[in-house]
Structure 1
């Protein structure tokens, strides 16, 4: 049975999923652009079943958190927000190993977090991360006006129900990018590229080879810069952007849970 608890800190909406027994590890989740932590219920439940306490927060401007919708002016601040959640999790479960998992924009946040606080982590998992090169940012910033074009929901998953549910979700952002957020993304990608490698921190990179939103080859250079000797790369030929919502999501989650369990054993 998965138990949940919600609260706010500094105007940010946070949630924890836990089992009835004492956890063996902590997993922090950093979600992607425009979405919210409620879209990770199934992943959290799978991690809890394997002994984790799972903590996540709606980033500023997202979900139920404070701020103008999808407006992020500095990803260093978002990393700081996530570190605040880390502090809460460690206070509630002292002494447990902590793993960070980031998806898409959350992968950028997680990568930068690991560069700043990697010594405190047991492992890092990057899912379809915005690191290395993301041509969409450069192309959009070059335009005089950001087009108000909704996300093509077919890019998320081969499972059509995923896109339909996304389109109907009232706290998912369905409007255009905002220029300050794009500029912050551009600076964040550069900060990761200019920052240190992760050395001995165990790193898992998962990506769909048919991901049209964050193409795999753009992310590869960023991951290669980050990775150290303890590294696992798993890609799936026909999978799109949201691997945890793909047709093979169970297999993906099994791989991630196994990696986390191995690297964050107590």
Structure 2
């Protein structure tokens, strides 16, 4: 079993809760960036897989999420979240100098990871995006056109065809089950524009994973952003019938295998 530990760092707007998983003599670092309304504790199966593959894995709960400080799901500037993620990366490099770093971002975490790669790409060996909020995501436009954002939480059934995934999500006290907040939606809209405007990430190897039945972050709009972000080293895998969380889907073994094969190629190179 991997060794797990939790610690805290000082973030841009308060204390960040960080979790880390490691084994013996890791050969690379994997920084996992979670999605909207959830927390890094939902990524234990992915972390355990990556530790078996040779990684030291870590990830923070973003501001206003999980066990980190801040008003729940309130993010006024995603640049601050990127800075927080970089604080974790610095800690990893201090503890394990010389190891290559891979950033893996899911959903909102994909937007954060994309912006991270634009700001700090020279420090990365690879970027992995799972169902990333990037490109033409219409939800912010639709919500900001309303006088009041409706109290419509994420449907657990939208995450995976595995009902156990939705049930665990619905029962998780660290998951936010309320409405989105207008400043956060506004920050989403600004950062989507920023990522588009800042251009591609050059030769950085990029893996994109997505389900073709993702109704939270539809595949066509995400494709626009991924293709704009990629500097040419793009590997993609679309999973037929899969919903939003490919690492928690009924096809998760294929998603894991695709991820580790990609990382093997990156590390060998």
> Normalised by the size of structure 2, how large is the TM-score?
0.97
Deviation at 1:261, TM superposition (A): 2.5
SS in 2 for 1:63: coil
SS in 1 for 2:94: helix
SS in 2 for 1:95: coil
* Aligned residues of 1:153 and 1:166 also touching (Cα < 8 A): yes
The one of 86, 95, 99 aligned to 2:98 = 95
* Residue aligning to 1:190: 193
* Residue aligning to 1:130: 133
CA distance in 2, matches of 1:223, 1:172: 27
Q: Call closer, same or farther: CA 1:137–1:172 in 2, change over 3 Å.
A: same
Instruction: For CA contacts below 8 A with separation 6 or more, give which structure has more relative contact order.
Output: 1
Q: Which runs of 4+ in 1 moved over 4 A?
A: none
Structure 2 runs not aligned, ≥5 long = none
* Residue aligning to 2:123: 120
CA distance in 2, matches of 1:265, 1:39: 29
Please tell me whether residue 16 in structure 1 is matched to residue 20 in structure 2.
yes
* Aligned residues of 1:123 and 1:264 also touching (Cα < 8 A): no
Structure 1 runs not aligned, ≥5 long = none
CA distance in 1, matches of 2:202, 2:76: 29
The one of 141, 144, 147 aligned to 2:144 = 141
CA distance in 2, matches of 1:230, 1:108: 18
Deviation at 1:260, TM superposition (A): 1.5
CA distance in 2, matches of 1:39, 1:142: 32
User: What pairs up with 1:230-241 in 2 under 5 angstroms?
Assistant: 230-241=233-244
* Residue aligning to 2:171: 168
The one of 84, 107, 129 aligned to 2:110 = 107
Please tell me whether residue 3 in structure 1 is matched to residue 3 in structure 2.
yes
* Residue aligning to 2:77: 74
Deviation at 1:264, TM superposition (A): 2.8
Deviation at 1:265, TM superposition (A): 4.2
* Residue aligning to 1:177: 180
* RMSD between aligned residues: 0.9
> Normalised by the size of structure 1, how large is the TM-score?
0.98
> How many aligned residue pairs are there?
265
The one of 259, 264, 269 aligned to 1:261 = 264
CA distance in 2, matches of 1:256, 1:15: 21
Deviation at 1:231, TM superposition (A): 1.4
CA distance in 1, matches of 2:154, 2:123: 36
